[in-house]
Amino acid sequence: MTARFERIALIGLGLIAGSIAHAARRGDLVGTLVGYARSEATRAKAAEIGLVDEVAATAAEAVKEADLVILCVPVGVMGAVAAEIGPHLKPGAILSDVGSVKQTVIDAVAPHVPDGVHFVPSHPVAGTEHSGPESGFATLYDGRFTLLTPPEGTDQAAVDHLAAFWRGLGANVEEMEPAHHDLVLAVTSHAPHLIAYTMVGVADDLRRVTHSEVIKYSAAGFRDFTRIAASDPTMWRDVFLNNKEATLEILGRFTEELFALQRAIRTGDGDTLHAYFTRTRAIRRGIIEAGQDTDAPNFGRGLPPK
Amino acid sequence: MTARFERIALIGLGLIAGSIAHAARRGDLVGTLVGYARSEATRAKAAEIGLVDEVAATAAEAVKEADLVILCVPVGVMGAVAAEIGPHLKPGAILSDVGSVKQTVIDAVAPHVPDGVHFVPSHPVAGTEHSGPESGFATLYDGRFTLLTPPEGTDQAAVDHLAAFWRGLGANVEEMEPAHHDLVLAVTSHAPHLIAYTMVGVADDLRRVTHSEVIKYSAAGFRDFTRIAASDPTMWRDVFLNNKEATLEILGRFTEELFALQRAIRTGDGDTLHAYFTRTRAIRRGIIEAGQDTDAPNFGRGLPPK
Ligand SMILES: NC(=O)c1ccc[n+]([C@@H]2O[C@H](COP(=O)([O-])OP(=O)(O)OC[C@H]3O[C@@H](n4cnc5c(N)ncnc54)[C@H](OP(=O)(O)O)[C@@H]3O)[C@@H](O)[C@H]2O)c1
Ligand SMILES: NC(=O)c1ccc[n+]([C@@H]2O[C@H](COP(=O)([O-])OP(=O)(O)OC[C@H]3O[C@@H](n4cnc5c(N)ncnc54)[C@H](OP(=O)(O)O)[C@@H]3O)[C@@H](O)[C@H]2O)c1
């Protein structure tokens, strides 16, 4: 099964699209790369830095003749973009997206996919806190997982071709049910992001602790929250609005547990605290062993220069 | 003002003590380093790797003749250790500690400090998730802040000498009121740690999402929480039990805000979410500019090899 596509159109030219572009070229997985983004500024920047071979003036124009079209826009506009490009998709083409939520994206996009076009939703579980056309890099997907959530009845050859492409970009590829995907990501990503945003908001608000103090003493744990909470507001607004149920369910569980630990603090129940803090270490070990993080203390920050 | 001490005793030989030892040698700030830890295993390991020049058999023996004694044990045992060593401290010596909480440590230690010994509490706001005698490294304090919280009436020459020592270890040094210290750290460290432990606990508990899924898809945000939640359970139990009021106050604020954001998600109020996620970015910028974190995406994980 080939991993290559002759003509790929990227709609949206931010972190995820840019990293696809860099990695596709690194792997020689593409003939011609076409790109489109909403703003003139982003299109001009993408052209200037040669992120894609051709910058199109409209989304419709970008997808014409493309063998693979990937929607790399915020989750909330996937439906609108699909409606716009639907009529212009080439018969036999694969349409994909990289949205962080899958069920609502499928619901929004599928109605606009013409017969003969294969819709294979995907989600690369990798990212950084940066965004925009200059933030992408070729190694973003190396060793990370990309989840495909094809609706029942999707053409298997199309799924296999897209899977091979993502492997060529460096990713491990797995398939998952959309609803289960949304629950898993609520745990590993969406709830943690909301929590980090909230904690940073609390620090920002507190009058008795100055911003300067928060900044200077952030190395004690808080700065990791600020990195997560520096992510793009539009992307994250759309994620929460489109993964409501799962996110709210996980946050409900979270609050319940947090209250139990708060009670343990209030009553001086050290045993409960100690047992809780001990039990969670196995997950960290698993993550290190699975190559999904470094064991260098502090992610390697503050280590002796090599 | 000299930064040097002829004889330094470290009580407790974990991450913080080990890093003091490495940095003190790097800066030529010490004649002889003596160390003591509770367990035979830690003392043997410290001797084997040459962490200190002499390993003492008891805390009392370790502090004899020392010009500077630093308590590097969990916050909850500071008082007991101080009671043990108090009678053996050399007149004119400086006694310090590195506890992450200051008011309760001062209350527990001060009664055991004999006349003529200068008690200068300190807190290096730097750390990693690792612990034990092999986890220390010389650069841990470089560019980070160490807070001194001397009780009123403390000998100024002793404060200045200890401040010079910490600067020699690489740290920026500032003074702060103990109660204010405990509030600031509740925001920048204690509440974030409890929140991270809680979120990891929730993931660990959830039956419908497997451990393997949590581990594989952790790169989406969760893994930063697992790093924080991999910290030593004893240290953190003691921190929460000794900084109850401030931690519970901050967690109360946190829950309030979290509920407001949950309501915005439930009602589909995207504007509130977007505004909240935008406002908090200034703090991140401040942290980068103050040199307290790297702007490399993802802390430099997953970047192209240089
Ligand atoms: N960042 C992550 O960590 C991550 C990880 C996995 C998946 N994802 C998903 O990937 C997608 C893109 O995220 P990203 O991080 O690459 O975001 P990004 O860097 O902010 O880029 C988003 C791009 O979408 C364009 N865009 C927005 N609305 C559009 C519209 N109506 N029509 C055409 N283009 C439009 C933007 O154009 P302008 O620049 O002109 O506004 C921009 O080029 C999202 O669905 C997100 O959920 C993100
Ligand atoms: N880790 C951080 O991020 C950080 C940052 C700033 C300040 N602090 C503070 O620094 C202190 C030490 O933390 P750490 O990270 O260095 O911990 P650590 O690596 O776990 O080391 C703690 C040391 O204390 C010893 N100890 C425990 N109870 C003792 C007792 N009753 N008598 C004598 N020794 C005893 C332990 O001995 P055994 O090995 O024999 O058990 C061990 O050597 C704590 O107060 C903590 O709040 C920590």
Model confidence over A58-102: pLDDT tens digits? 999 999 999 999 999 999 999 999 999 999 999 999 999 999 999
Judge whether residue A169 has pLDDT over 70: yes
A257: confidence class by pLDDT, cuts 50, 70, 90:
very high
A306: confidence class by pLDDT, cuts 50, 70, 90:
very low
CB of A247 less than 8 A from some CB of B: yes
Shared fold status for B5-176 and B180-268: no
Sign of CA dihedral A163, A166, A168, A170: negative
- B223–A293 CB contact, under 8 Å: yes
Query: For A52, phi and psi rounded to 5 degrees?
Result: -130, 165
Q: Which fold has domain A5-176?
A: Rossmann fold (3.40.50)
Q: Identify which of B220, B292, B294 has the shortest CB distance to residue A218.
A: B292
Token pair recorded at residue A252: 């409900």
pLDDT (0 to 100) of residue B306? 35
Judge whether residue A28 has pLDDT over 50: yes
CB of A142 less than 8 A from some CB of B: yes
Of all residues in chain A, the percent with pLDDT exceeding 70 is 98
pLDDT (0 to 100) of residue B219? 84
The CA B9 to ligand 2 mean position distance, Å, reads 14
Cβ atoms A36, A58 nearer than 8 A: yes
Long-range contacts of A37-41 (CB under 8 A, 24+ apart): A37/A11, A37/A12, A37/A13, A37/A133, A38/A12, A38/A73
Angle at A76 (CA atoms; ends A72, A82), nearest 5 degrees: 60
Range name among A16-20, A280-284, B29-33, B302-306 with the lowest pLDDT average: B302-306
Beta strands in chain B, from DSSP E residues, in sequence order: 5-11, 30-36, 54-55, 68-71, 94-97, 118-119, 122-125, 145-148, 172-175
ipTM rounded to 2 decimals: 0.95
Report pLDDT digits (tens) over A121-148.
Answer: 999 999 999 999 999 999 999 999 999 9
In angstroms, the separation between the Cα of residue A287 and the nearest Cα of chain B is 5
Total Cβ atoms within 10 A of residue A271: 9
Judge whether residue B305 has pLDDT over 50: no
Mean pLDDT for B231-252 is: 97
A26: confidence class by pLDDT, cuts 50, 70, 90:
very high
pLDDT (0 to 100) of residue B54? 98
Choice between A188 and B220, residue whose per-residue pLDDT is larger? A188
The residue with tokens 């829950």 is B255
B302: confidence class by pLDDT, cuts 50, 70, 90:
low
Choice between B301 and B224, residue whose per-residue pLDDT is larger? B224
Range name among B171-175, B177-181, B287-291 with the lowest pLDDT average: B287-291
Q: Which of B58, B96, B100, B140 to mutate to test the pocket of ligand 2 (most atoms within 8 A of CB)?
A: B100
pLDDT (0 to 100) of residue A302? 60
The residues near B19 (Cβ < 8 Å, ≥ 6 apart) are B136, B137, B138, B140, B141
CATH match of A180-268 with 1.10.3660.10: yes
CB of A164 less than 8 A from some CB of B: no
pLDDT (0 to 100) of residue A294? 85
pLDDT (0 to 100) of residue B304? 42
**Which bin fits A299, alpha (ψ -120 to 50), beta or left (φ > 0)?**
left
- B204–A278 CB contact, under 8 Å: no
- Give me the residue spans of the domains in chain A: 5-176, 180-268
Rounded alpha-carbon distances, angstroms, from residue B250 to A175, A208, A222, B187, B241: 41, 11, 13, 7, 15
Total Cβ atoms within 10 A of residue B249: 16
CB of B248 less than 8 A from some CB of A: yes
Of all residues in chain B, the percent with pLDDT exceeding 90 is 90
Of the candidates B222, B207, B201, B100, the one whose C-alpha atom is nearest the C-alpha of residue A272 is B201
Rounded to the nearest 10 degrees, what angle do helices A191-205 and B281-289 cross at? 80
pLDDT (0 to 100) of residue B89? 98
Q: Give the integer Cα–Cα distance in Å for B136 and B36.
A: 15
For residue B13 and ligand 2, the question of a CB distance below 6 A is answered with: yes
pLDDT (0 to 100) of residue A301? 73
The residue with tokens 């996937």 is A78
- A144–B219 CB contact, under 8 Å: yes
Judge whether residue B215 has pLDDT over 80: yes
- A281–B230 CB contact, under 8 Å: yes
The per-residue pLDDT of chain A, averaged, comes to 95
Could you say which DSSP state residue A209 is in?
S
Question: Contacts of residue B183 in chain A, CB cutoff 8 Å?
Answer: 208-209
SS3 of chain B: helix, strand, coil, percent, to 5: 55, 10, 35
**Atom of ligand 2 at shortest distance to CA of B132?**
19
Judge whether residue B285 has pLDDT over 90: no
